[in-house]
Structure 1
Amino acid sequence: MKKVIVVFNLLFIIGIPIYIIYDFIEVELDELPKGELLSEHSSPNLDYIAKAYLIDEGGATVRAAIRVEIDFGNDLKTIYWNYDESTVNIKWLDHETIEINNHKLNIFNDYYHWKKDPEWEENREVFNFFNYYSLYSIFMQVAESTYVRVREVQVQI
């Protein structure tokens, strides 16, 4: 009997902190902060409204996130949450299907949660590569045109 009590106490002592840590790390869509309203998009039949919010409360160490909720009139449901995004592109495909930043979702059955997407890190690396390349090419164009202007000024003098 003492062994059962000791095992039960050990499971209790170990299990409670594990559950608390898991509950802290595992965020559900209905627990997200509201954020700053970016845009509203009515469905084609005007029955629903997709509201996009920017969640940017982390300061310098946490990047912005996008949250999109559907307003059903008497109920709100968050269907999209993606980290490391600060812009949103929303397009209604029909009165039940919406495309949010290239993710097609049925507003009644689907949701996108970046932590549950096994390809999120790969997509992010590709996205960041193209953003880096774009910034690099813009920087090089500006630097090149500045250099050309400096050479023209030197020649004219």
Structure 2
Amino acid sequence: MARKKSLISNWQENYAGLILGAIIVIILGLLVANFITNRGKIGEGEQTEIGEETAKSTQYTVKEGDSLSKISEQNYGEQDAWPVLARINNIVNPNIIFVGSTLEIPSAQTLAEIKMQMTQTSYDVLEGDTLFIVAEKMYGDGSKWPVIAKANNVGRLPNGNPLIFAGSTLTIPR
């Protein structure tokens, strides 16, 4: 008889656990389904704020007779922005652009930032900077690092690499 009672209580415990587990699975399934169907919906009384759109660049396809100064004039109203276009698009010779190629045209805000950077005559060295990185930032060409090294009488490490320190100010020849 004792064996029969333990069998019945064991059976009841197993089914109680099974039913409880099934209820939990059903509730979780309903929550997931609700989340998926209502994702991205704005509830009653809720508001969202749309911030100012960040300055974005546009694309321009080069046409017959175009030059960087002409493209600059069309997009910014000034021809003087062509060096920025050359730098942004990694154009080595600004006199040669190919018909059909796509150029990135930065926003006016980005243009102003790059122009300021390109006319800057000093640079504050940041942690992790190398002369190559500084030359890339200031000239758009990392291979011009020896110009900066020479202008600043930069010392050298025993292995021959130039030595610069974070926090120091470098003169950038223009």
Normalising by the smaller structure, the TM-score range is: under 0.3
TM-score normalised per structure 1: 0.25
Larger fraction in helix: 2
| Higher RCO, 1 vs 2 (CA within 8 Å, ≥6 residues apart) | 2
Q: Which structure is larger by alpha-carbon Rg, 1 or 2?
A: 2
Larger fraction in strand: 1
TM-score normalised per structure 2: 0.24
